[in-house]
Every structure is written in C-alpha cells, then in structure tokens.
Amino acid sequence: PVARFLNMEWEDAPDVRERLHTTRHWYAFFSLWTAFLERQGWRDSVDLEAWHLARDMGKTVLGMETMEEQLHSLEVVPVPRVLDFFRHCGQWRSYMKRNIYHYLRGELEPMMGTSTEFPTRTQQVIDFRDQRFRERMRPFIEKGGVAVFVGAAHMLRLRRMLTEDGFTVRQVRPTWIHRMRARLRGEDDLYRIPADGDR
C-alpha cells in the first residue's frame, strides 16, 4: 500500500493473488521467484546463454528431458514446501545473496546447504532426474566432444554417478583465487568416491 501511495510500485509487478489462484503451485513458485530476482537486477539466464552460444557456434543442442517429463517432475513438488517458501519470502534476499556468494567461489556443498529451502530441491525431484540425466548423457560423454549443462543441485549426485561409471570428474577452478582458496581448504580438483563412513 505504501508503494502504491507513493507511486513507487514495481512496473509490471506480477499479480500474486492471481498466480496463487489460477496456476499450478510449481508455476506460481517459479514465476514469483523469477519476478523477485528480476526486481533485484538478476535478469540473465545461464541456461539460455549456453543455448544461444551453442546455436551461434553451430552446435547441436539436445535436451535430456521431454516437456512431459519435466512437467511430471514439477507436479511432484510438495505443495507444503511451496507454501513454506512463500511464507518466508522475507528471507528471499538473503537466500539469493548466499547462493551468489558460494556460487562465485565455486563452493557446491555450502551453496546447496543454503538452498535446501527451495521447493524443487527435494530428494524425489533431484534423485529421479539425476538418474535420467546419467542415462541420457552417458553415450554422448563416452563418444566425447560434448558439453553437458545441469543445475548445480544435480552435481552433488551426478559427480558420484559419473565417477562410478568410470569417468574422471574434475572441478575446474577458473582463477588463481579459486585455486588458492581450494588449496587452503585442502581440496583436490579431482572428485573421488569417499570410502564408507566418510560421507
């Protein structure tokens, strides 16, 4: 109400009530979260950037899921998790900042540790899709000359799966600062399957 009174409302702001009443729970989550990120100045998409870059380079782009499979994965997102995420919308800015911080430092585990509140990051959604991705990317990886793009949340299990399949999984650290931080933390670039009890 204050923003409306001062004529400071966000331009093209989403109609929250309309989204909650007329769309699927997962769509309401994604559309409102995206609108929030855009309000913070975050208008880029790594997925689209990679897709356009590959197309501009004349590369063949293949999806690892059909639209029907993606929709099925979204339908199993628990409604209570979406509602809980909405109830804590006051913390969205801190979620975003923590994820950016760990993402730019190349720290996967801490980033996932701060994003477990996200509705789509459930074991049912992530694990099922990880296995699908593993099966569909493997023939292309074996052939070589490919790049595979997945969300960061999928890397926790996929790196183990690929290592079990006999591939060498290495984290690329883009700058000397990333490499120095990793050395100070005692981290190796190679991912190895931990021994039982070391998980």
Q: pLDDT per residue over 95-139, tens digit each?
A: 888 888 888 887 877 776 655 578 888 888 888 899 999 999 999
What angle do the packed helices 152-164 and 123-143 form, to 10 degrees? 50
Per-residue pLDDT tens over the stretch 173-192: 888 988 898 889 888 888 87
* Mean model confidence pLDDT for the chain: 85
Helix ranges restricted to H, 40-151:
46-56, 67-75, 79-87, 92-104, 108-114, 123-143
Percentage of the chain beyond pLDDT 70 is 88
pTM: 0.79
Percentage of the chain beyond pLDDT 90 is 41
Q: Which of 88, 192, 196, 105 is nearest to 152 (CA)?
A: 105
pLDDT at 197 over 60: no
User: 196 in helix, strand or coil?
Assistant: coil
Encode burial over 145-160: b for 16+ CB neighbours within 10 A, e otherwise.
Answer: eeeeeeeebbbebbbb
Please name every residue paired with 191 in a beta bridge, in sequence order, or none if there are none: 169
Q: Output the pLDDT for position 53.
A: 92
Secondary structure element (H or E) that encloses residue 170, with its range: strand 169-170
